[in-house]
Structure 1
Amino acid sequence: MFAFNHWIEVLEANALHFPQRAALHFLPDGVEIGETLTFAQLHEQSQSLAAALQARCSPGDRVLLMLPSSLDYARAFCACLYAGLIAVPLFPPPSRKPRHLDRVRNVVIDAQPALILAPLDHCEGLRELVEHRVDVLTVNNLGTPAPDTWQRPAIDGASVAFLQYTSGSTGTPKGVEVRQRNLIANVELMRKAYGFDEHGAMVNWLPLYHDMGLIGGVLAPLYSGMPCYLMASQTFVNAPSTWLQALSRYRATASFAPNFAYALCNRVVSDSLIAQLDLSAWQHAINGAEPIHPATLDAFARRFAACGLNPMAISPGYGQAEATLCVSATPAEALPVVLRLDKSVLETGHVALASGDATAVEFVACGYPQALHTIAIADPNTHERCAVDRIGEVWLQGPSNAEAYWKNPDASRYAFEAQIVGEPGYYLRSGDLGFMHEGQIVICGRLKDLLILNGRNLYPHDIEFAITDSEPGIRTGRIAAFSEMDLLLGREKLVIVAEPQRKFVDPAHHPALFASMQTAVREAADCGIDQIVLVEAGTIPMTTSGKIARQGARNQWAAGTLSIIAQSGGQASTPVERIAIEQLRRQPSLSACQQWLEQTLIEVNPYLSVDVELSLIGLGLDSIGIADFAARLHRDLGWDLDTQSLFGERRLAEWAQALLVYLGTPAPGARLESDATPHPRRQSFAQRRLWFLHQLNPQDTHHHLVLHLKLQGPVDRDVLSQRLNALVERHSVLRTVYHDSVDGPQQQVLPASNVRLTLHDQLADCLAQEHATPVDLKQGPLLRAHLISHDHQHDLLLTLHHIAFDGRSAQLLLAELAAQAANETPVQYLDFARWEAAHWTDQRIATHQDFWREHLADVPQTLDLGGSGTTHGEHSLNFSLPQATCDTLACVAREHGMTLFMLLLASYQLALKQLGGQQRFLLGTDVSGRPLAAHNEVIGFFVNQLTLRCEIAGEGTLADFFAHVRDEARLAYAHQDLPFDLVVAALAPTRRAGHSPLFQVKLNYQPSRVAPVTLAGAQLTSMDIAQAPGDFHLVLDLVHAGHGIDATLKYRGEYFDQPRALRLQHLWSRLLGEVRDLLGESLPALAQRLDDWDQAFQRESQQSHALAGRSQLLQTKRRSLTL
């Protein structure tokens, strides 16, 4: 029936047919690629890990995967299938609180795993949880056996591939047995339904323990040969816009998400960001996993049409874990079908379209059944097939259906062996209520009590138990949890009806009781309660068997017949008078901050009863609500908060105080308003330094930046000229000139004028001329543009001065040249200079300078590089680190709680120490220097230089040294905002010509500068930014591209030379290549190892030079004899 029998055959075929094609990319920040796996690498690494698993486990053993979303997760999952083991995807517990651990404990008891794979920081807690009866390891603990040691398992389509657990914490969990044939059938039919192929791309932020995240977001694209761009769920929660930015940047064609994600983007993605997006490639915006709200679809289609989203890309779908994943899909060539049904008829269990004056309820059709699959609508009690106009239970039949729950025969028979009266064959009972409309399935309710909130299946008894277990004020067994679609929220809202203990009837207890209930539900289920209703004893209806009648409680709540004592939420809060943002900035006060936060919270959830003495969790916000709140703070105020800090116990009153402090950070009058006036204005601290150097030597070109853009295809020169002119008009810093005055160094904006796009024939001549010709900072122009064209190959050269431009500016320039910029005027660089002057008060400067004086005291401000050079001038050495090495380094960095840059920094320090012998020195690096979110979209010279303290001593291991460098870097980054010139002023170093103060060696690291982009009709293939080392003796620039890290070692010949540059490259590259194996080595032993490597390399170099010399001599002699 299908081309493959099991998953191993799928990955083997992909590795054979397109081995070097990228299969998976991981985006650590949601935007830049941090790690990539090709199909060949995935196959080989899955084999290697499988061999390690086979050495520990027996065929058919279960392996719990409790890993965060990452390429390690994909490797581990595939390795389980390669090893003939049964993978069990499960969430890493968010804390060690009993409710979180209970979920894990119940699955462990049911699945009886032989092994648990988890992050390092969870391992010890999990070992205690399983009482050390199950091995708990990291993926790296497994080692990397040779792939050829793998033994092919004896599996076929009937073999269980993995278990999908669908239950909560208090009951017996149910693990759906997904067999190899179920998985193959589902991903094959998704491929056909959505047209997935190697020309598309997937972006996935859903957690990989979620069926839609794992099967839809990773396995379906792997099966179809299309690359998947994977990011952590928390990245999306912290900044929902990263999802859309990744779709835009990587021209992705497909992505899965629940309805709430689309609603969240509608609310929090700003107009300015939308103007930068290009969603025209997105063909399948698949919406599923929870009830779909028609207004959400319409709002999303309208809001993002401005950035190219095709409304037919909106694709509602329906799925079930028991059916592997996908049950039905909306084809790409069709708009979603929205039905207006008569509410009164619907309540009788029938379906009728609403007439014009009837009360209507809207439902979204969820697409057509997949090929080879059947959907039936059956009476849940009689098991008879329903008439076409009746609502019934949705029953499913087809090869994607699982056949059983793990070791649960009773539940399996009920769910998987349903039969329609008078018809052959088994059906899967979905528990959902719905009907068919012109071949499409419409879901309109749930037969069982399952709650679906924010795309997750939750069980009411879990939530009820969490409350009564932690809050003695609620009567045990007298509480009902249910949900209701809410138009104001645009999602299902959670309602709790509960009977309080007698002594808690007193209203004085209610605020604390409400807050305690919110906290309990947040900890147990990561959701907030939208409405709490306390009712009189005996109010909640019960069944004849003494159980809570949740549906009865829901009906009474809807009808307004409950005997209510008190409630929190439920009615839209009375709007607080809105304070304009500019008024808040101009006249900040504690009461104004509190009022503004209250109004913002009500915008997030209109049902909140705001109490300033409660935390955000206590008020009822869940992780999605907190993400929404944080996004509004960023959008409206530029206030960037760590989302995790918002989950804490800080009261709203304290957040108001924090906001007041934040607003008071710039001095009064320093708010960021656009200023592009022609009047002279002060230069920024960074500009003053470059202006001073320019005045010393106006002909110097060390601070030139020459952007070299390579283009392929037809270039529309008129469009290119228009975009350049628009760029200069939009960003006043590109038409700013500089001069001195009695008030100090000044800058002044000139009127906009056209940029001259000069055409040339010879690239080399043009490049040489641009590097040699100074930019006139007093007269302009500040931007020069040259185009060299040969057929459809073009080189665009843009020359600027660093005083007006930096690395982030290059990204902004590229984005605006590639697409029409938004209409609104951006904040200007002049605004930053004005803000900076107000922000850096004498007291604030003194405080930061005190830190730097103490932190850098007694550290030598010169670095011995092992002797002087013999040739003057500027030189460079280019080399690269392969992606495989970068992947390993990224993994090691994560294991040690550090960034990849910190690891590169630590290893570079060791190589420098080996070269010159110096154990204590200072090293420099560039930081963005954009302190407020409003600065992120501004072209200008923001970049600041950060001084890093380096000390290599002691008997500790390399791992210990990494921890030391990590801590030192974190400390320095916490004080990175003070302008470098003020740091220099604090330490007052002895100045020497040709020497940068404090440090003369730099290490710079940045992600790839180039995203797939079309510029004036041509495709951008590369962009290089050329800049001389200036007064630095040695600068190592690292750019992390898709194929690895491109490194450029720039040095000045009077202080360094080529032989030492080659030695430095060799030492550093080899150290990075072997770093994982050296983590336990002591620093003295490592120093000896580095010395051995260095001596061997020098001997080999000398031998090579001697051989080359002898060869040259022999050739000279032969020529002499011939003559």
Structure 2
Amino acid sequence: MDRQVIPFSTGHAAEGPLIWAQVAIWDVFRWLPPGDTSLNLLVTCPVPPGRDLAGTRDALRRLVERHDSLHTVYADTPDGPRQRVVPEGEIPLWVYELDDLGDVGLDEAVAEFGEALRRPWFDIGADLPLRAAVLLRGGEPLTVLLAASHMAVDGWSLNIVRADLANLLADPPLVTEPGQQPLARGEYERSDIGRRREAKALAFWARHLETLPSSMLERVSDDPPNLDWGLIQSPALALAANALAARHGVPAATALLGGTTLQLAAYTGEDDAALRMIVSTRFRPASRGVVAAFNENALFRLPCPPDLRRTETLDAFLRRSADAALAAYAHCEYAPRALDTLIAEVAERRGITTDGYCFFNDTRFALLDAEAPAAVPQEDLAARIAELQPATKLRSPVIDRLPKHANFFMFLMDLGETAEIMLCVEHGFFGRRGPLGFLSDLERLIVRAALNESATTGSLYAAVR
């Protein structure tokens, strides 16, 4: 191993308040235990043949210089948290020659050195929020690893960064402009149009918070979080969700989102349920290329009262789910502390303690360019699902992570050939039923919907009640 640095210089220093989404992750950092590294992120990028180490280092330098968030520090001040763009400095770089390590395969090296790069804590007030490593074979670069603080990037940002680095490593690279920088985004949020958009979003949340079931808002207990974890890997669930998507013209993730919310209502004995979706707020042309912590919460609500459940067709249910998702996306740009204040006011009026929510996070940023699996003809679907169901894997992983204010937190990691979903549930939220039961029933619900074209919302609700 050789420890090096990537020097950079932009000649551009700047400072300003955090943007809305940065405040959200800043508050999560302040809630986590000191030194927690569970939110550090990692991405890999292959190096094309013919690139030498000097060229790879130069591509990394240009990458850092193109995106302010990769050379920014964050500090608390009497005026609130602020970000300071550092005009010059050095990003740490580790270089590993795999030929010096014996019989080590590339995948094994990426797993080992990637975790070593990701794991150490970032001091976001002093350290630049990026570390890099290059893996060589016979002196030729094979792969670049990048570890970043979640204070600087979200998952979608890593996809942008990876694509940008791949372009910079090309010979020759395409000439492109970097996306909007965070401080420029902040100017939009403080503008009249930004404030109007925020007011519209907060009004949307206020209407729904007044009438949501308290079980969607309150923590199970006042004790420290006690989370049970479950993981499902299911080809049958993936096939069923993608079959629903193809048949009804909605994204497969929307079918899963609607099914999850319906089952959440059934599990809690409610006629109404809601999920706080983690959403990348890149809706405007200017903000699509932002590299920053840029996620906010969107409220996906799906009332399913008995009268509606009895008659609503599956197609109508899925289209209502798609409409609810669009409404959520349209109302998720706001100052998060303003939402906290709003929630506190609603809680006081309703006489409840709001600190336990249900979350849904689609983390499939690495799969943005993947094609949807080939559709299976409806007449072959039942046999194909039956063939795949024995391959379902359920397990209870040990996870060192504490999602903030969560009774229920679902992570969608894959929905291609295999559905891979992680779920944590506050102990007791479902009574004696835990995350593995929920995930198993979710597979059953989505499969039932895919195989039974005459299914109603009520029949699906009853099947998992």
Q: Work out whether the TM-score is over 0.5.
A: yes
Question: Is 1:808 paired with 2:178?
Answer: no
The one-character-per-residue Cα deviations of 1:17-55 (angstroms, maximum 9, x if unpaired) are: xxxxxxxxxxxxxxxxxxxxxxxxxxxxxxxxxxxxxxx
Q: Partner residue of 1:855? A: 208
Distance 1:752 1:985, change over 3 A: same
Q: Partner residue of 1:1051? A: 424
The one-character-per-residue Cα deviations of 1:272-302 (angstroms, maximum 9, x if unpaired) are: xxxxxxxxxxxxxxxxxxxxxxxxxxxxxxx
Distance 1:772 1:1063, change over 3 A: same
Letter in 2 for 1:948: F
Pick the aligned partner of 1:961 from 300, 317, 341: 317
Secondary structure of 2:302's aligned partner: strand
Q: Partner residue of 1:750? A: 86
Secondary structure of 2:13's aligned partner: coil
Letter in 2 for 1:784: R
Letter in 1 for 2:244: L
Distance 1:1033 1:977, change over 3 A: same
Secondary structure of 1:781's aligned partner: coil
1:734, CA displacement in angstroms?
A: 0.6
Q: Partner residue of 1:722? A: 58
Alpha-carbon distance between aligned partners in 2 of 1:1029 and 1:794, rounded to the nearest angstrom: 35
Alpha-carbon distance between aligned partners in 2 of 1:732 and 1:870, rounded to the nearest angstrom: 37
The one-character-per-residue Cα deviations of 1:795-829 (angstroms, maximum 9, x if unpaired) are: 65422122221232122111121122626465322
1:478-497 map, 5 Å: none
Pick the aligned partner of 2:72 from 736, 740, 748: 736
Letter in 2 for 1:780: D
Is this contact kept in 2: 1:863–1:1000, CA < 8 A? yes
Letter in 1 for 2:14: H
Question: Is 1:1063 paired with 2:452?
Answer: no
1:376-391 map, 5 Å: none
1:622-637 map, 5 Å: none
Is this contact kept in 1: 2:41–2:149, CA < 8 A? yes
1:953, CA displacement in angstroms?
A: 2.2
1:764, CA displacement in angstroms?
A: 6.0
1:735, CA displacement in angstroms?
A: 0.4
Secondary structure of 2:151's aligned partner: helix
Higher RCO (CA-CA < 8 Å; seq separation 6+): 2
Letter in 2 for 1:1065: L
Secondary structure of 1:1087's aligned partner: helix
Q: Partner residue of 2:19? A: 684
**More deviation in 940-949 or 909-918?**
909-918
Gaps of 5+ in 2: 1-9, 102-108, 169-173, 371-398
Q: Partner residue of 1:1009? A: 367
Alpha-carbon distance between aligned partners in 1 of 2:341 and 2:322, rounded to the nearest angstrom: 27
The one-character-per-residue Cα deviations of 1:859-913 (angstroms, maximum 9, x if unpaired) are: 135449998999957845241446643441222331xxx4433322111123323
Alpha-carbon distance between aligned partners in 2 of 1:852 and 1:840, rounded to the nearest angstrom: 19
Is this contact kept in 1: 2:22–2:293, CA < 8 A? yes
Is this contact kept in 2: 1:725–1:753, CA < 8 A? no
Alpha-carbon distance between aligned partners in 2 of 1:698 and 1:1084, rounded to the nearest angstrom: 46
Distance 1:784 1:839, change over 3 A: farther
Question: Is 1:892 paired with 2:247?
Answer: yes
1:725, CA displacement in angstroms?
A: 1.5
Q: Partner residue of 1:568? A: none
Secondary structure of 1:802's aligned partner: coil
Secondary structure of 1:1089's aligned partner: helix
Is this contact kept in 2: 1:678–1:750, CA < 8 A? yes
The one-character-per-residue Cα deviations of 1:823-865 (angstroms, maximum 9, x if unpaired) are: 6465322111122122466666444423321133221354499
Is this contact kept in 2: 1:984–1:997, CA < 8 A? no
Distance 1:946 1:871, change over 3 A: closer
The one-character-per-residue Cα deviations of 1:608-654 (angstroms, maximum 9, x if unpaired) are: xxxxxxxxxxxxxxxxxxxxxxxxxxxxxxxxxxxxxxxxxxxxxxx
Alpha-carbon distance between aligned partners in 1 of 2:228 and 2:458, rounded to the nearest angstrom: 35
Q: Partner residue of 1:23? A: none
Secondary structure of 2:24's aligned partner: helix
Alpha-carbon distance between aligned partners in 2 of 1:676 and 1:998, rounded to the nearest angstrom: 46
Pick the aligned partner of 1:923 from 259, 272, 275: 275
Secondary structure of 1:903's aligned partner: helix
1:736, CA displacement in angstroms?
A: 0.6
Secondary structure of 1:774's aligned partner: coil
1:313-392 map, 5 Å: none
The one-character-per-residue Cα deviations of 1:491-534 (angstroms, maximum 9, x if unpaired) are: xxxxxxxxxxxxxxxxxxxxxxxxxxxxxxxxxxxxxxxxxxxx
1:1053, CA displacement in angstroms?
A: 7.0
Alpha-carbon distance between aligned partners in 2 of 1:848 and 1:1002, rounded to the nearest angstrom: 19
Pick the aligned partner of 1:1081 from 430, 435, 455: 455
Is this contact kept in 1: 2:347–2:354, CA < 8 A? no
1:128-527 map, 5 Å: none
Is this contact kept in 2: 1:865–1:916, CA < 8 A? no
Distance 1:754 1:797, change over 3 A: same
Q: Partner residue of 1:906? A: 258
Distance 1:848 1:911, change over 3 A: closer
Alpha-carbon distance between aligned partners in 1 of 2:454 and 2:366, rounded to the nearest angstrom: 32
1:728, CA displacement in angstroms?
A: 0.7
Secondary structure of 1:971's aligned partner: helix
1:689-704 map, 5 Å: 689-695=24-30, 697-704=33-40
Is this contact kept in 1: 2:343–2:354, CA < 8 A? no
Secondary structure of 2:121's aligned partner: coil
Letter in 1 for 2:152: A
1:933, CA displacement in angstroms?
A: 0.4
Is this contact kept in 2: 1:922–1:998, CA < 8 A? no
Question: In percent, how many aligned pairs have the same letter?
Answer: 21
Letter in 1 for 2:447: G
Alpha-carbon distance between aligned partners in 2 of 1:908 and 1:1053, rounded to the nearest angstrom: 17
Alpha-carbon distance between aligned partners in 2 of 1:684 and 1:747, rounded to the nearest angstrom: 9
Is this contact kept in 2: 1:785–1:797, CA < 8 A? yes
Is this contact kept in 2: 1:724–1:755, CA < 8 A? no
Question: Is 1:938 paired with 2:286?
Answer: no
Q: RMSD of aligned C-alpha atoms?
A: 4.1
Pick the aligned partner of 1:783 from 130, 142, 145: 130
Larger C-alpha radius of gyration, 1 or 2? 1
- Equivalenced residue count is 397
Secondary structure of 2:412's aligned partner: strand
Alpha-carbon distance between aligned partners in 1 of 2:112 and 2:332, rounded to the nearest angstrom: 40
Gaps of 5+ in 1: 1-674, 1013-1025, 1092-1123
Pick the aligned partner of 1:838 from 177, 180, 191: 191
TM-score (norm 1): 0.32
Alpha-carbon distance between aligned partners in 1 of 2:219 and 2:77, rounded to the nearest angstrom: 45
1:969, CA displacement in angstroms?
A: 3.0
1:939, CA displacement in angstroms?
A: 1.2
Distance 1:893 1:1085, change over 3 A: closer
Distance 1:946 1:848, change over 3 A: closer
1:1085, CA displacement in angstroms?
A: 3.5
Distance 1:700 1:862, change over 3 A: farther
Alpha-carbon distance between aligned partners in 2 of 1:961 and 1:938, rounded to the nearest angstrom: 34
1:778, CA displacement in angstroms?
A: 0.7
Letter in 1 for 2:437: R
Alpha-carbon distance between aligned partners in 2 of 1:1010 and 1:967, rounded to the nearest angstrom: 22
Letter in 2 for 1:985: T
Secondary structure of 1:924's aligned partner: strand
Distance 1:932 1:971, change over 3 A: closer
Letter in 1 for 2:13: P
Alpha-carbon distance between aligned partners in 1 of 2:195 and 2:162, rounded to the nearest angstrom: 38
